[in-house]
Copies of this chain bind each other. A is one copy, B any other.
């Protein structure tokens, strides 16, 4: 089964907002073994949406999913565009109108009654013959069958989009396409500490192509994400071979991120973690607490951006800061020690570095970062020399710190 996505929204097309919806639906489809062949991003204009949906249908895919453009205002025209692309009229759906009106009771009524009523009627007007998806926010979605294919129309706000996609999966016409395809879902591995070129050397030696496998690799900051398809005994043997070539590098085979892996390792030991962050500014804490239930193993941390906070909140000694500077191995170690002691934890991870663009010197250039992990068996410090811009240096620092912690936890 093959699918094409049409993401609408001038704010996405012009790069002001990152697309989350297309990525979410694509991931869901890929996991179900449906092949996503193309995603088209267009603006809010009626004609451009009609063209994109029409081209997607003409390309012979089984499923077209659109996101965005279902709001109450005049520039939300995706329903109209799908009706035009599938040769249907538009009808007001009374059931949908009642749902929209019910949803509106829970949002602040600062617009005029007239505006709200016009908006509700607009949002409840759908292509004739649609199966209407109940609104997660105020916008109903729709499933529109067309010529042996199906168009699914989803709202733009990400949490509404995910809820409406779940609802769409309950519609038989959609389920027939998406379900029962899971035999084709690729296996997804995550590896750390391996660069792409040495990975490709290993792949060449294992020759997966001769075994009928398709191997994809994507370099992310500090990690490689590898997909292997089709799943089965041959793929499993290839993955075993990779594991032998890079012992300890494969840290996830179920799509989990390093945050989740670290959390599971801590929970299994019934131990707790604290963080001490300088250049990452809270990013490690934010990543750890993105995992639901992280309070079971993460107690919190200190963002010690200034030297004064390193001293006051983590007990780093002024002498150490003066003798070695804030960006140094001894200070990273003292930050990790202070986090464990002050916050009462078995484990801590600390980061101090120069993320740039300013603040670098010849002796301590931008990209110099020290990471320390403290655990019951002692402290490990690693010196990093990273390239790239501020965001990349911060992201890689946090990823490498989490992997150092994972390794110390034996994961």
Contact = CB atoms under 8 A, between A and B. Distances in A.
23 contacts: A10-B216, A10-B218, A14-B227, A15-B23, A15-B27, A16-B225, A39-B41, A40-B40, A71-B196, A110-B198, A159-B392, A162-B389, A277-B285, A278-B300, A279-B289, A281-B286, A289-B303, A295-B306, A298-B305, A299-B305, A300-B302, A300-B309, A312-B344
Interface in A165-222: 188, 195-198, 200-201, 204, 216-220
Contacts of A275: 282, 303
A282 B292 contact: no
B198 A44 contact: no
A17 B11 CA distance: 19
Interface in A273-325: 274-275, 277-286, 288-290, 292-295, 298-306, 308-309, 312-313
A258 B112 CA distance: 29
A116 interface: yes
Interface stretch (A30-38, A91-99, A124-132, A402-410): A30-38
Interface residues of A, number: 108
Nearest to A279: B289
Given A13-B38, A26-B15, A286-B286, A302 B301 contact: yes
A143 interface: no
B75 A216 contact: yes
B115 A200 contact: yes
A119 interface: yes
Given A24-B15, A111-B201, A342 B313 contact: yes
A18 interface: yes
Contacts of A10: 216, 218, 227
B27 A16 contact: yes
B15 A343 contact: no
B343 A312 contact: yes
A16 B342 contact: no
Contacts of A198: 110-111
B48 A27 contact: no
A119 B197 contact: yes
A356 interface: yes
A140 interface: no
A110 B197 contact: yes
A279 B293 CA distance: 11
